[in-house]
Amino acid sequence: MGRTGWPGWLQSFLCFCLPPLAQGLRIQEYLYFQVLSPRDIQYIFTATPAKDFGGVFNTRYEQIYLVPADPPEACGALNNGVFIDGQIALVERGGCSFLSKTRIIQEHGGRAVIIADNAYDNDSSYVEMIQDSTRRTADIPALFLLGRDGYMIRRSLEQHGLPWAVISIPVNVTSIPTYELMQPPWTFW
Ligand SMILES: *[C@@H]1O[C@H](CO)[C@@H](O)[C@H](O)[C@H]1NC(C)=O
Ligand SMILES: *[C@@H]1O[C@H](CO)[C@@H](O)[C@H](O)[C@H]1NC(C)=O
């Protein structure tokens, strides 16, 4: 599936029409991005958009920086906030709510946030990111990434001494015939 997020009117329509019984059913939606550099992690990664907060991608970014937040949990002021302005932040789960992290990145001028699980060895469990109980909102897209994928991206950047990766997002995988081959080799489907 190569959708880049359903339009808001369609989401409301679906939510409105689904019978109560279906509420427990998970309708998994994926959004893809490709790392362009560094080359050793030049793969197409699969993320899941937050369920009930944050925005959708209205633009495709051919090249934008993915900047690991410092500190990684991004629950307060950031040391590298200037790098995040106008770019996308890679954040780690934990310490505060998904929504709080998203708002912090938004306040720093981030275009979107990718929140990786803090279970570094987890290569299979996508967490459904939902609102906290504060009635706050966020406008930028928030995506969840597997712990293993987040770890591998961070590790590669550390090894290369790089402050960010360059990515394309979102990627329409239905237009890439070899998409399956371009997924990270450490992820098994
Ligand atoms: C990943 O997390 C899920 C949910 O917590 C768990 O069921 C699964 O066993 C974990 N997998 C690994 C490889 O740790
Ligand atoms: C994705 O690519 C397919 C095949 O090229 C195309 O038919 C489809 O319209 C594209 N979807 C989007 C959202 O761009």
Q: Which two tokens stand for residue 47?
A: 């993320």
Phi, psi torsion values for 33, nearest 5 degrees: -140, 155
CA of 175 to the centre of ligand 2 (A): 6
Q: What confidence tens digit (pLDDT) does each residue in 104-121 have?
A: 999 999 999 999 999 988
| Ligand (nearest to CA of 173) | 2
0.75 surpassed by pTM: yes
CB of 172 shorter than 6 A to ligand 2: yes
CA of 29 to the centre of ligand 1 (A): 19
185 C-alpha to center of ligand 1: Å?
A: 18
List own/partner pairs for 69-74 with CB under 8 A and 24 or more apart: 69/105, 72/154, 73/101, 74/101, 74/104, 74/105, 74/113
Q: What DSSP element (H or E) covers 89? A: strand 88-92
Ligand 2 pocket, residue 60 CB under 6 Å: no
> Which domains does the chain show, CATH number per domain?
48-182 (3.50.30.30)
CB 171 less than 6 A from any atom of ligand 2: no
| Residue 19 to residues 52, 53, 146, Cα–Cα distance (Å) | 18, 22, 30
Backbone angles phi, psi at 68, to 5 degrees: -65, 130
CA 36–ligand 1 middle distance (angstroms): 28
What residue ranges line ligand 1, CB within 6 angstroms? Answer: 119, 121-125
Tens digit of each residue's pLDDT (9 = 90 or more) over 128-143: 999 999 989 999 999 9
Atom of ligand 1 nearest to the CA of 147: 1
Ligand 1: atom nearest CA of 127 is 4
Contact indicator for 170, 31 with CB cutoff of 8 Å: yes
Q: What is the pLDDT of residue 116?
A: 98
Which amino acid is located at 11 in the chain?
Q
Mean pLDDT, the chain, whole residue set: 87
